[in-house]
Amino acid sequence: MEDYEGDSKHGTMPVTTDKVETDAKIEVSTGMVEEGSLHHSRKEKPSRAHIFTEFTSLLLFVIGSSFYMDISVEDYKWALELLSLPTWVMVADDDATLYAYIAENDDHIYADDYIPNMQMRGAPVSRYQIVFLVGSLCFALSGLLDIFNERDLWNIFRLLAGGFGVASAVFINGNDFHLSNIFNLISVHCYLMDSLTLFRHDRCCAVTVEAGTWTKHHLLFADFLYFTGSVIDIVCSYLWVFDSTSDWDVTLTIFAIIGSISWLICSLIYMWAFFKDDYDEDGPKPRRLSSLIIDSVRRHKTSRYDAQESQESDVAADAAK
């Protein structure tokens, strides 16, 4: 169906109504979202720098979740080790007896996993402490990159969570272990706020943007895993702060492992969503890293094919002469 509109030079020009409706639909769908997101449709096509920065943020999220998983397993090993201690060690009033016994009888847990030649003011550095610090730093950098990419201060919660996690890791050895637990308690509350922020943003985009089924369901499921893991960590952290016997609770460390597994699965879903362009044809389709790689390979193949075809044409022309 065609309509006509006036033109000062050429009189009337045909305008396809279907095209106008399509343009209006695209305008409405793109106008609903003002800011970019970790894994959502955007109003404007993101630059390559934005895409690679986004990928780096997600990669840091995966690495941080993996490191947190590692320290959760170490906590479980530590709880099992404490349960196997003899009674005379358990009833001792000082920590020196406990750590002396562990140093003499077991060198496979983080309590005696100190790094040689890395001591400051008599506080040795352990592998557990380094893993905890690097994992927290990964989350802090991920939040910082998201703030830079999306210009959204709501992402500051992940930056704060990682920062308090770094502080917790600094005080984890020595006599400041209780202070480490307090910093960790603040950190996991910030992670909970970050999960709620992502859930709000993903739910909003899933409703307002013509996104595919994968985005509407699986990303929200990933946000739910992030939220669930944060709630579990908060409960465990309160017990570690206010209950001095919680270090002996194997069940508590198992729940901590479940929470860290939830985070790890969540981070992998986020990364998968980054590489998966699953949007409706009518909606905007962002330029992901996967799209850039595929386009680059296609351009390379096309250029080789064109060069080969041009060479064959030149040979045929020379033969005709």
The per-residue pLDDT for range 36-94, each reduced to its tens digit, is 444 444 445 567 777 888 889 999 999 999 999 999 998 888 888 777 777 776 666 66
Counting other chains too, the contacts that 206-209 makes at CB distance below 8 Å and 24 or more residues apart are 208/32, 208/33, 209/29, 209/32, 209/33, 209/40, 209/41, 209/283, 209/284
Q: pTM surpassing 0.75?
A: no
CB atoms within 10 A of CB 280: 15
pLDDT band at 295 (very low <50, low <70, confident <90, very high): low
**DSSP letters spanning 260-290:** HHHHHHHHHHHHHHHH---B-TTS-----HH
Q: Is the pLDDT of residue 174 over 80?
A: no
Average pLDDT of every residue of the chain: 72
Asked which of 58-62, 112-116, 170-174, 291-295 is least confident by mean pLDDT, the reply is 291-295
Q: Which two tokens stand for residue 139?
A: 């989350």
In the block, tokens 């959204």 appear at: 152
- Do 171 and 187 meet the contact criterion of CB atoms below 8 Å apart? no
User: pLDDT for 183-226, tens place per residue?
Assistant: 999 999 999 999 888 877 655 554 444 445 656 677 888 889 99
Helix axis angle, 48-83 to 127-150, nearest 10°: 150
Name the region of 213 (left: φ>0; alpha: ψ -120 to 50; beta: rest): alpha
Q: Which two tokens stand for residue 236?
A: 């465990």
Q: Is 1 helix (H, G, I), strand (E, B) or coil?
A: coil
In the block, tokens 């009337």 appear at: 12
Q: Which two tokens stand for residue 30?
A: 């793109």
What are the φ/ψ torsions at residue 138 (nearest 5 degrees)?
A: -60, -45
Given this model, what pLDDT does residue 30 score? 41
User: pLDDT for 123-166, tens place per residue?
Assistant: 567 788 899 999 999 999 999 998 888 777 777 899 999 999 99
Given this model, what pLDDT does residue 231 score? 95
CB-side neighbour CA atoms (13 Å) of 116: 0
Given this model, what pLDDT does residue 74 score? 87
Alpha-carbon distance of 303 to 92, in angstroms, equals 76
- Measured between its terminal Cα atoms, the distance across the chain in Å is 53
Given this model, what pLDDT does residue 127 score? 83
Alpha-carbon distance of 102 to 95, in angstroms, equals 11
Alpha-carbon distance of 303 to 75, in angstroms, equals 56
